[in-house]
């Protein structure tokens, strides 16, 4: 056993999948498979023995599903990364979002049954290993900082007796959310501590005028982060929001529906051709880039683009950000939790055009890849914890019924170029949120 390697437990009822995943991960020099399990119940019983840094967990298993097992694992260790294995189907998408709501950290989609073994190994190596590495490294840093494995017999709810095909209610003694609550935070205690930690935070001064369009780029950890951010925004938000969340087709529609059900704003998957209005949120559909364009009536509009992936992503944050550069200082771009660096180039372009750049902080990001690149490059003007982003948006947008009493707020820059004008001499007429700009 190499203490420097990331320790992984693989949980799947299929012996073939366990073998493929294990043999693929064993080729990674910094990853070690410390054990396997064939059911959620077995995963719970072996967890304290194996003490993995990361768990891969199948969704559908006999006896106890992966979703049913999550709250019990969270009772033992509230912070261990759990990566779900789900199928690229509508039912797989619903199950994935249920798992994330129950406390899973992220997911990967399984190769289809028609995919060859070698091709399956390549898919697993490219998608799963990188997530294990990113989440495992953060886990190791947290343990090194004192947030060690926290299991204790006194607080660990016993695993229910074996009853095939029985659904079990989630434990709630320690604040773990029920699986029936979509897009909930995994551990309520963490949210409370975070809120207390950041109460009274002061935002940095800004000379930017209130934005007329908000762009959000997000990936790993995104569904739950959006599930906290969007419901915290008021119905009278005077600007539209465009979001790129790295997810496959079908998943993005289901995510939009769930967010719409719990938000005061109207949340939908973009179809292309829409004129974004105040109080509306558009999520890029999986496998399509989302871009800002102008329609025949010179209104700002949404278009979908099927051009090749950017940063191995489609939709890509960079693509969305690049398309909005001509709007200059009318844009606020927010880069939130996610792996990789998608959004960095686009944020740099937007910054040069006069846009305001905001990033989520490292402490509240599941993975501080995307926001970390932007922050470390000096592009971000506000580095905020997740539970402060909605408040900042409300203040910056001058939402009716609220006022920005923060001493950090400076007067609006009345000499900023109008929406639709680039930083050059070109001009355009566009409409955002029901207003026209010349």
Output the tens digit of pLDDT for each of the chain's 438 residues.
Answer: 566 899 999 999 999 889 989 999 999 999 999 999 999 999 999 999 999 999 999 999 988 999 999 999 999 999 999 999 988 888 999 999 999 999 999 999 887 766 788 887 887 777 899 999 999 998 888 776 654 444 433 333 444 444 433 333 333 333 333 333 334 333 333 333 333 333 445 687 788 899 999 999 999 999 999 999 999 999 999 999 999 999 999 999 999 999 999 999 999 999 999 999 999 999 999 999 999 999 999 999 999 999 999 999 999 999 999 999 999 999 999 999 999 999 999 999 999 999 999 999 999 999 999 999 999 999 999 999 999 999 999 999 999 776 544 333 333 333 333 333 333 333 333 455 444 433
- CA gap 91, 106 in Å, rounded: 17
Q: Which two tokens stand for residue 378?
A: 């000096």
How far CA 295 is from CA of 244, 267, 427, in Å, comes to: 21, 22, 15
Quickly count helices (H) and strands (E) in the chain.
12, 16
Residue with tokens 């001064």: 205
CATH architecture of 6-146: 3-Layer(aba) Sandwich (3.40)
- Helical segments of 169-221, H only: 188-198
Distance CA 281, CA 296 (A): 22
Residue 243 forms beta bridges with which residues? 216, 283
* Active site annotation includes 246: yes
Catalytic entry in 53, 98, 246, 289: 246
Q: Which two tokens stand for residue 246?
A: 């790295």
3-state DSSP helix/strand/coil % of the chain, to nearest 5: 35, 20, 45
Q: Indicate if 196-437 has the same CATH topology as 6-146.
A: yes
What backbone torsions phi and psi does residue 257 show, to the nearest 5 degrees? -65, -40
Q: Count of residues for the chain?
A: 438
User: pTM of the prediction?
Assistant: 0.81
Q: Which two three-digit tokens encode residue 349?
A: 């372009």
User: How many C-alpha atoms does 256 have within 13 Å on its Cβ side?
Assistant: 26
Question: Are the C-beta atoms of residues 263 and 241 closer than 8 Å to each other?
Answer: no
Tokens of 405: 């009493």
Sign of torsion over alpha carbons 50, 53, 56, 60: positive
Cβ burial of 16 (10 Å; 0-12, 13-18, 19+) is: exposed
Give how far the C-alpha of residue 311 lies from the chain's centroid of Cα atoms, to the nearest Å.
17
Between CA 303 and CA 320 the distance in angstroms is 10
219 catalytic? Reply is yes
Catalytic residue among 194, 212, 219, 316: 219
Domains of the chain by residue range: 6-146, 196-437
- Strand pairing of 356-360 and 430-432? unpaired
Q: Which helix (H) or strand (E) holds 216?
A: strand 213-218
Question: How high is the pLDDT of residue 405?
Answer: 40
Collapse the DSSP code of 193 into the 3-class scheme (helix H, G, I; strand E, B; otherwise coil) and give the result. Answer: helix
Q: Which two tokens stand for residue 277?
A: 């209005």
For the stretch 58-96, pLDDT in tens is 999 988 999 999 999 999 999 999 999 988 888 999 999
pLDDT at site 202: 67
What is the H or E stretch that residue 437 is in? strand 435-437
Please tell me the predicted confidence (pLDDT) of residue 344: 98
241: exposed, middle or buried (Cβ count in 10 Å: 0-12, 13-18, 19+): buried
Is the CATH code 3.40.50.180 the one for domain 196-437? yes
Q: What is the pLDDT of residue 400?
A: 78
233: three-class secondary structure by DSSP: coil
Q: What is the pLDDT of residues 300-337, one digit of tens each?
A: 999 999 999 999 999 999 999 999 999 999 999 999 99
Of 58, 77, 342, 361, which one is the catalytic site residue? 342
Answer left, alpha or beta for residue 69, where phi above 0 means left and psi between -120 and 50 means alpha. Answer: alpha
Taking the C-alpha atoms of residue 275 and residue 303, their distance in angstroms, rounded to an integer, is 10
Q: How many CB atoms lie within 10 A of CB 415?
A: 6
């Amino acid at each position: 056993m190499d203490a420097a390697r990331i320790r992984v437990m693989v949980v799947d009822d299929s012996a073939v999948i366990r073998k493929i995943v294990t043999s693929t991960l064993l080729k990674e020099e910094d990853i070690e498979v410390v054990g396997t399990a064939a059911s959620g119940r077995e995963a719970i019983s072996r967890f304290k023995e194996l003490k993995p840094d990361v768990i891969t967990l199948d969704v559908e298993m006999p006896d106890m599903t992966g979703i049913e097992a999550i709250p019990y694992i969270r009772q033992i260790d509230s912070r261990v990364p759990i990566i779900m294995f789900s199928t690229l189907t509508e039912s797989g998408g619903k199950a994935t979002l249920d798992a994330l709501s129950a406390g899973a950290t992220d997911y990967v989609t399984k190769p289809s049954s028609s995919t060859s073994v070698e091709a399956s190994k390549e898919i697993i190596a490219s998608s799963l290993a990188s997530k294990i590495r990113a989440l495992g490294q953060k886990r190791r840093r947290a343990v090194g900082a004192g947030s060690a494995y926290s299991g204790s017999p006194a607080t660990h709810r016993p695993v229910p007796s074996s009853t095939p095909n029985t659904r079990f209610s989630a434990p709630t003694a320690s604040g773990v959310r029920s699986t029936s609550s979509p897009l909930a935070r995994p551990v309520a205690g963490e949210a409370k501590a975070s809120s207390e930690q950041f109460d009274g935070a002061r935002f940095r001064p800004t000379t930017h005028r209130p934005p007329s369009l908000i762009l959000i780029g997000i990936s790993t950890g995104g569904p739950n982060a959006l599930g906290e951010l969007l419901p915290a925004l008021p119905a009278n938000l005077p600007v539209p929001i465009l979001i790129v969340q790295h997810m496959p087709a079908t998943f993005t529609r289901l995510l939009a529906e769930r967010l719409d059900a719990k938000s005061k704003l109207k949340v939908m998957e973009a179809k292309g051709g829409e004129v974004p209005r105040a109080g509306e949120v558009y999520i890029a559909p999986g496998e399509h880039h989302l871009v800002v364009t102008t329609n025949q009536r010179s209104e700002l509009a949404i278009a979908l683009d099927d051009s090749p992936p950017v940063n191995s992503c489609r939709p890509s944050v960079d693509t969305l950000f690049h398309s909005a550069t001509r709007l200059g200082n009318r844009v606020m771009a927010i880069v939130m939790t996610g792996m990789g660096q998608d959004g960095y180039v686009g944020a740099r372009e937007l910054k040069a055009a006069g846009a305001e750049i905001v990033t989520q902080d490292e402490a509240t990001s599941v993975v501080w890849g995307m926001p970390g690149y932007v922050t470390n490059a000096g592009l971000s003007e506000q580095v905020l914890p997740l539970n402060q982003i909605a408040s900042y948006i409300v203040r910056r947008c001058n939402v009716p019924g609220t006022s920005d009493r923060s001493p950090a707020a400076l007067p609006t820059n009345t000499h900023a170029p109008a929406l639709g004008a680039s930083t050059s001499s070109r001009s355009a007429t566009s409409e955002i949120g029901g207003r026209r700009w010349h």
